[in-house]
Structure 1
Amino acid sequence: MKILSPRVLRALERFNAAHPWDHNAHYHRWILRQLPRRFDRVLDVGSGSGDLARLLAGRADSVEAVDSDPVMTGQAQKLTPSGLPVTLTVADATAGLPAGPYDVITCVATIHHLPFSQALTRFRRHLAPGGTLVIVGLFRAQTPVDHLLGVVAIPANVAMGWLKNKGRPSRRPVSMTALTRSADMTFADVVREVRDVLPGARLRRRLFWRYTLVWKQP
């Protein structure tokens, strides 16, 4: 389904390159609202530059942050004050995770890089009873609703880029410099597999080409 002409898309790409902002960090405060005021152990999977891990450290006794990119992890370590209870580790989430259980597990814009159902199963096993899993993921647009949200996101994306950069060209955020790839799964694919692994999970399409998932361990 073709929504925009190549000319318009190129203009948007030029604008975004000059006025970048972090679509994933946009959801960090929303993530915090899904969590208790205080908790013990947290695991942040795909921690990137460590922005979310540092926010979580304000509520947690300890935060384990893992990312497969050693360059991004090194940058995160430089950005993280030594007094924060954050441990940043280079680790491949497909090979294993630090030993749980965890009261909170977060995963932002990472699970589409992993075998989806296996990753959900692993998160569930590492979550403590009563613990909370929060995922912000990417999906491939397929339905008219998906494409409509994409169209709505375009002017919102421009407005956010302009406001966050105060109308001036800006440097690309550190957390946006890591290599990424497009999502293969549609939202319907996500819903179907989540229902099999995490019954009762709350799923919702979001702006900026994202979806959210919240699930609590019984």
Structure 2
Amino acid sequence: MGQPPGSRWNHNIHFHPLVMNAIRPGAASALDVGTGDGELAGDLRSSLSDVTAVDVDADVLARAAANHRGIHWIHGDFMTYDFGRTFDIVAAVATIHHLPSLPDALQRLADLTSPGGVVVIIGLARPTTPRDRLLGLAGVAQHQWLSRTRNFWQHSAPTVWPPPHTYSEVRECAARVLPGVRWQQFALWRYALTWTKPHLSGADAR
């Protein structure tokens, strides 16, 4: 995982391959939630013809639109914006810790996903356990190495630190809201949630 040496790199871009690898065969559409500078939207557009990106920050969205083509840019709050549709893959990288309600954010991401589609969340959380702290220490070493050997780039989108939720809180909430979700925890102070939305049953489809 991660970008090849020489390309633009930061902690969020490092995990873009995890999102890209979650794209299922036959998928055509994607929603990038909290797109920021649009780097993930650009990656998604390289594989999918129908990419929408949404952000509440008009200035950062304008910069993203200037650098990436073929994407439908939306200035708005994904929690309330009426997209009028669902998407085959819904991705949120370093976004949901900006929102006031974690359960509501997870449910909204699920609602915006088409049956059989995938939600991928790369998030930040606070360490509370010995394992969390060991991964944090590993993250310090990993950051020092990668920032020296890659083309480190500081994004322009707003940041929130410290994150409002612990790793344990995020994992427990995700298990409730997204049954069957896959949890992964990494160094570089990130976790990943990957969830496939069930297809409608015969009774639900009628």
Asked whether the two chains share a fold, i.e. TM above 0.5, the reply is yes
Tell me the distance in 1 between the aligned counterparts of 2:123 and 2:45. Answer: 22
Return 5+ residue gaps in structure 2 as ranges. Answer: 1-7, 199-206
Q: How many residues align?
A: 189
1:75 alignment partner, one of 60, 63, 67: 63
1:128 to 114, 121, 128: 114
In structure 2, what is the Cα distance between the partners aligned to 1:97 and 1:203? 29
Secondary structure of the 1:60 match is coil
Q: TM-score, normalised by structure 1?
A: 0.82
CA contact (8 A) 1:91 1:97 kept: no
How is 1:40-189 mapped onto 2 (pairs within 5 angstroms)?
A: 40-81=28-69, 84=70, 86-114=71-99, 115-165=101-151, 172-173=153-154, 176-182=155-161, 183-189=163-169
Larger Cα-atom Rg? 1
Distance 1:140 1:55 in 2: 28
State the partner residue of 1:34.
Answer: 22
Q: Distance in 1 between matches of 2:96 and 2:81?
A: 14
Offset of residue 37 of structure 1: 4.3
For 2:189 and 2:165, the matched residues in 1 are separated by 12
| Residue-by-residue CA offset, 1:26-75 (whole Å, 9 max, x unaligned) | 11112111222442221110111111111111222211100111111000
TM-score (norm 2): 0.87
Distance 1:146 1:97 in 2: 37
Identity in percent: 33
Give the Å deviation of 1:181: 0.7
Q: Provide the secondary structure at the position in 1 that maps to 2:117.
A: strand
Structure 1 counterpart of 2:204 = none
TM-superposed CA distance for 1:97, in Å, is 5.0
Structure 1 runs (4+) deviating above 2 angstroms are 93-97
Is the Cα–Cα contact under 8 Å of residues 41 and 53 in structure 2 kept in the other structure? yes
